[in-house]
Structure 1
Amino acid sequence: MPRLTIALDEKDHLALKLLSLRENRRLNEVIDDAIKFYLSSTGGYGLRISDAGTDLPDSAKTSDGE
């Protein structure tokens, strides 16, 4: 499984931590569920590599313009 490091502001980190404590779940489980919810609700799971280049901002494209 790929690993990812993210930076959160203190308010979001505290809210996630408190939510995980309230639900008696690990913090990574709460974050994983939030990511899955976001991807499901925005159609992220339906994207394919060929779709990605059409809507990417310039900052996300490679240096050769692809």
Structure 2
Amino acid sequence: MEWLQYLLLLLCPLMMIFCMRGHGGGHNHQHGQHISPSTDLKLKLLEEENSKLKNEMEELAKVIKKGS
């Protein structure tokens, strides 16, 4: 009966391995594929917004330093 406990203990990691492979391993398998134009546009807009926010943060930091 003790072997059954060990079998159940080993079954959990094995099931996890097979389940993860069945779901693609949790990785994005789109290497080498082109992104859609709408996604490309969204990415460009986010990069522009990120740049603007960085500039605003730098300006705020300058204002705070002047006030100190």
TM bucket, shorter chain: under 0.3
More relative contact order in 1 or in 2 (CA 8 Å, sep 6+)? 1
Q: TM-score, normalised by structure 1?
A: 0.28
Q: TM-score, normalised by structure 2?
A: 0.27
Which one has the bigger helix percentage? Answer: 2
Larger Rg: 2
